[in-house]
């Protein structure tokens, strides 16, 4: 195509064109590159932050919990029958990866010098212990079971510091009912997730110990934690779980209920959802900047190429054809800016991912370094969106060409 051929020649001759044209081309390219880079890096940071916090919240809980109806919104868990038949039915629901019984009992940890309240969760061999294991900073994660009391306890780093205990040391836990009951534990592992509200409130031991302390019958537990194969199918799977257990009674006349992790921690997931608004604001601002610089650059190029435009029109080229030449030139400049923006963005993303160069206060942001996550659908959408929107915005400034007449433009200096 003739117009595309001429546009490529003008683009190739950019370095030998006038000073103003070279400056305009450089500014336009830089504007698009920086705008795209900021968009890609910002989206990667927001997605990374959402994933990190979500994974940590899910690690402390489960995608879906089956509980006693009385336990919803309460500080303590009422017992509900979680027998093999129920766990088998829950595990058979499409999308369910695992089902694990659990018990939680509030108590108080005490040493000779310190004490503090805490919730101790009992977990068995069916419980997915990988999250806590991956965040152990000292000691080890025992293989807790539901049949043997190990006498071992896993506490958070913040709890260990406050209680002034270390791995291998003894700590006592007191539980208050009609009488005070005490248990001696050995600190087996210390974990840190930087989710302060969770770290300071949870400790872990074997399910057998907590179940005996609660004094419930053999099939009664605090509930069942369900983990899914795909978190994106949470609502769909929750509907199936609700149909399976909700409003049904166990052998003791207690009613089953269920809730998702989003229902259990609405404030955290609501906050993470608000970050999507930040992405929208950043995209709008950066695309606007890219459009502004590209439009300004094209106008300067058109003004400096007025003599060329006049010659083309004098040779019989219609205004529409000349406009297509400059629109093609603008598209090539935008594409070059997009390529440079991608290179710069991925260089920064990879640098942060593998070095953690930019750090954060984990007490405030829940992570020690700025997290990044590359989503290729987002990358493609931003690249294509920038190209399309910026190219369409070039139509308006190209209308200037229609008002340039050969008689005046050929003598234009």
Give the separation between CA 80 and CA 63, rounded to whole angstroms.
19
Q: What pLDDT, on the 0 to 100 scale, is given for residue 287?
A: 84
Mark out the alpha helices in 93-233 (DSSP H runs).
130-134, 157-163, 196-199, 207-214
Residue 64 Cα distances to 58, 96, 229, 235, 270, angstroms: 10, 10, 12, 10, 17
pTM score above 0.85: no
Spans of the chain, pLDDT less than 70: 1-2, 4-7, 10-11, 13-21, 74-75, 305-306, 309, 311, 313, 315, 317, 319, 401-413
Q: At what angle do helices 234-245 and 84-91 cross, to 10 degrees?
A: 150
* Each residue's pLDDT tens digit, 89-137: 999 999 999 999 999 998 899 888 888 888 899 988 888 888 888 899 9
Q: What pLDDT, on the 0 to 100 scale, is given for residue 75?
A: 67
Buried b (16+ CB within 10 A) or exposed e, 186-214: bbbbbbbbbbeebbbbbbbbbbbbbbebb
Q: What pLDDT, on the 0 to 100 scale, is given for residue 16?
A: 47
């Amino acid at each position: 195509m003739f117009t595309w051929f001429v546009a490529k020649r003008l683009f190739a001759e950019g370095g030998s064109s006038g000073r103003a044209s070279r400056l305009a081309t450089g500014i336009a390219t830089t504007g698009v590159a920086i705008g795209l880079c900021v968009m890609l890096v910002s989206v990667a940071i927001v997605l990374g932050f959402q994933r990190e916090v979500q994974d940590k919240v899910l690690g402390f809980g489960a995608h879906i919990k089956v509980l006693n109806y009385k336990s919803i919104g309460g500080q303590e868990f009422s017992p509900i029958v979680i027998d093999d038949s129920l766990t088998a039915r829950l595990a058979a629901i499409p999308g369910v990866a695992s089902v694990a019984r659990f018990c939680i009992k509030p108590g108080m940890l005490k040493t000779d010098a310190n004490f503090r309240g805490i919730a101790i969760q009992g977990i068995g061999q069916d419980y997915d212990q990988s999250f806590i294991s991956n965040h152990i900073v000292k000691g080890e994660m025992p293989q807790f079971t539901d049949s043997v009391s190990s006498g071992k306890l896993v506490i958070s780093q913040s709890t260990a510091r406050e209680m002034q205990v270390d791995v291998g040391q003894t700590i006592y836990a007191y539980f208050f009912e009609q009488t005070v009951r005490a248990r001696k534990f050995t600190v087996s592992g210390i974990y840190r997730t930087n989710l302060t509200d969770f770290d300071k409130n949870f400790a872990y031991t074997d399910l057998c110990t907590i179940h005996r302390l609660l004094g419930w019958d053999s099939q009664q537990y605090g509930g069942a934690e369900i983990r899914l194969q795909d978190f994106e199918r949470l609502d769909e799977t929750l509907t199936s779980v609700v149909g399976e257990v909700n409003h049904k009674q166990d052998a003791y006349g207690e009613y089953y209920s269920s809730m998702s992790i989003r229902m259990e921690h609405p404030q955290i997931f609501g906050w993470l959802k608000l970050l999507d608004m930040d992405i929208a604001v950043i995209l709008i601002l950066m695309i606007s900047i890219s459009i502004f610089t590209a439009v300004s650059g094209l106008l300067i190029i058109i003004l400096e190429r007025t003599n060329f435009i006049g010659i083309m029109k004098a040779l019989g080229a219609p205004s529409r054809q000349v406009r297509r030449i400059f629109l093609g030139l603008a598209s090539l400049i935008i594409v070059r800016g997009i390529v440079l923006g991608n290179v710069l963005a991925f260089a920064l993303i990879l640098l942060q991912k593998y070095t953690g160069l930019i750090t954060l206060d984990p007490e405030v942001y829940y992570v020690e370094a700025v997290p990044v996550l590359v989503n290729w659908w987002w990358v493609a959408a931003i690249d294509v969106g920038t190209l399309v929107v910026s190219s369409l915005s070039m139509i308006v400034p190209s209308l200037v060409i229609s008002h340039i007449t050969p008689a005046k433009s050929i003598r234009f200096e």
